[in-house]
């Protein structure tokens, strides 16, 4: 069954390791026959949440920037894939900001049921991304019927280093293929 898959690359670096992995996931998902939209936060204007909670009544944020369109895309996707570099054992600040700004989804008729995660970290092992997974799980826990469906964690130290790791690229491709 074909799904609408939204991939959100949160790295601000052009051709970053996490973005390269996200592009591989995109290929896998397309090869599986899914409809895929790829969004990068690089050139987006996204302000911080003000905590006013007006979005709960209005169904959208009162701040008029790119976060509203991204939130609408999240709402209408069947599966959401977050891709982030790991900074200080946590998701990027821009990823956290867009998650906060997606607060209007809480009171909406959202379609997404599966959430995936792609990370690139300088530290090795699952311990390096444990807090990122916990942060994403905390977001997921706010939505009925939504589950954390899988992740790819790659260890890198230099920009674009992921290109020399065929096993990590294949893992990202397989993640997309198996959505």
Give residue limits of the domains in the chain: 4-177
CA atoms within 13 A on the CB side of 179: 37
Is residue 45 within 8 Å of 65, Cβ to Cβ? yes
pLDDT at 124: 79
pLDDT tens digit sequence for 25-62: 999 999 999 999 999 999 999 999 999 999 999 999 99
Determine whether domain 4-177 maps to CATH 3.40.50.360.
yes
What is the rounded CA–CA span in Å between residue 48 and residue 1?
37
Starting at the edge strand found earlier in the chain, the sheet holding 147-155 runs 35-40, 4-9, 79-85, 114-121, 147-155
Per-residue pLDDT reduced to its tens digit, 65-102: 999 999 999 999 999 999 999 999 999 999 999 999 99
Mean pLDDT (the chain) is 96
pLDDT in tens, 123-132: 877 778 999 9
The model's confidence at residue 11, banded by pLDDT at 50, 70 and 90, is: very high
Cβ proximity of 125 and 82 under 8 Å: no
Q: How many CB atoms lie within 10 A of CB 56?
A: 12
Rounded Cα distance, 35 and 68, in Å: 21
């Amino acid at each position: 069954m074909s799904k609408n898959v939204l991939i959100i690359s949160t790295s601000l670096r052009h051709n970053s390791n996490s973005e390269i992995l996200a592009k591989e996931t995109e290929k896998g998902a397309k090869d599986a026959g899914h409809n895929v939209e790829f969004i990068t936060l690089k050139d987006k204007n996204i302000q911080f949440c003000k905590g006013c909670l007006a979005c709960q009544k209005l169904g959208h944020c009162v701040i008029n920037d790119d976060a509203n369109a991204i939130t609408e895309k999240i709402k209408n996707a069947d599966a959401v894939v977050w891709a982030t570099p790991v900074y200080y054992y946590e998701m990027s600040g821009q990823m956290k900001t867009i998650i906060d700004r997606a607060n209007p989804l809480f009171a909406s008729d959202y379609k997404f049921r599966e959430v995936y995660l792609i990370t690139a970290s300088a530290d090795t092992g699952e311990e390096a991304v444990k807090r990122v997974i916990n942060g994403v799980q905390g977001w997921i826990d706010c939505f009925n019927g939504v589950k954390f469906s899988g992740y790819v964690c790659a260890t890198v130290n230099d920009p674009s280093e992921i290109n020399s790791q065929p096993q990590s690229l294949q893992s990202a491709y397989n993640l997309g293929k198996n959505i």
